[in-house]
Amino acid sequence: MRKQPFEILRPFTQNLSVSFFEKEDAPLSDDIVREHLHAQGLTALHQVHGSRAICVRKPTSRIIQADALATDVPGLALTLRIADCQSFIVYAPSHHVVGLIHAGWRGLVAGVIPSFFRLLKEEWQIRPEETIVCSAPSLCLACSRFTDPSTELPTIRPDYFSNNHVDLRAIAKDQLFTLGVMPRSFERMSECTCCDPQAYWSYRGGDRDAVQKGMTNMLACVLSPLV
């Protein structure tokens, strides 16, 4: 487990706890994660590779179908389970609101990133430029191979394609920056889940059966009460 894995969030350690759970942490239950974060409750989604983003203020247990969530409730842990997909934590310090986004290639096509930022605007009047965004390990360009990118990702510009490979990281970053997230407020953990299957659960890296049975990496966070 890596605690506070993002340098850009370290100034907010008293306000926000972040953990990234890897292969060495398995088996990993929601109760274990909640205890690690010293949280009073925990939220978990039924992730469906779509665009739905929700506000949560009480515990959920993989019942609600969505791929992004946000809260303003201290002590309520947010979690995402991921293998090769991109996952983002978004923190708005001035509003003390935090959220998580699960963005596989289907989610990028569906628009989960702009959907999440619409939620921030509608619920808390938070603008993208007021947020800090961090991304956990995910597929690199070399490992993001598709059969026919132009058919599978019809709404994505072909300049993100390199033969049969797609720069999913660049697509997400450009979506964030186009919305208004400031480049200086963005940080990515550079590791690729598929390139390092010893460290990370990876569907494409040889863990297909295990991932289908629920063995995944996890990004989790919890707000602390402001003092």
pTM of the model as a whole: 0.97
Q: Are strands 53-55 and 68-71 parallel, antiparallel or unpaired?
A: parallel
59: left (phi over 0), alpha (psi -120 to 50) or beta: beta
Q: Would you say residue 227 has pLDDT above 80? A: no
For domain 2-223, give the CATH superfamily: CNF1/YfiH-like putative cysteine hydrolases (3.60.140.10)
pLDDT digits (tens, 9 = 90+) for 159-196: 999 999 999 999 999 999 999 999 999 999 999 999 99
pLDDT digits (tens, 9 = 90+) for 139-169: 999 999 999 999 999 999 999 999 999 999 9
CA dist., res. 48 & res. 46, Å (int): 6
Instruction: Please state the separation of Cα 187 from the chain's center in Å.
Output: 12
Q: Would you say residue 26 has pLDDT above 90? A: no
Q: Are strands 132-135 and 161-162 parallel, antiparallel or unpaired?
A: unpaired
Domain borders along the chain are: 2-223
Confidence of residue 28 (pLDDT cuts 50, 70, 90): confident
pLDDT at 61: 86
- Average pLDDT of the chain to the nearest whole number: 96
- For 217, how many CA atoms within 13 A lie in the half-sphere containing its CB? 29
CB 218 within 8 A of CB 33: yes
Name which of 162, 69, 151 is nearest 112 in CA terms: 69
pLDDT at 107: 97
**Nearest 5°: CA angle at 174, between 217 and 23?**
10
Q: Which residues contact 185 (CB under 8 A, 6 or more apart)?
A: 8, 129, 131, 132, 133
Burial class of residue 24 in the structure, from the number of CB atoms within 10 Å of its CB (0-12 exposed, 13-18 middle, 19+ buried): exposed
Mean pLDDT (whole number) for 109-129: 98
Q: Would you say residue 44 has pLDDT above 80? A: yes
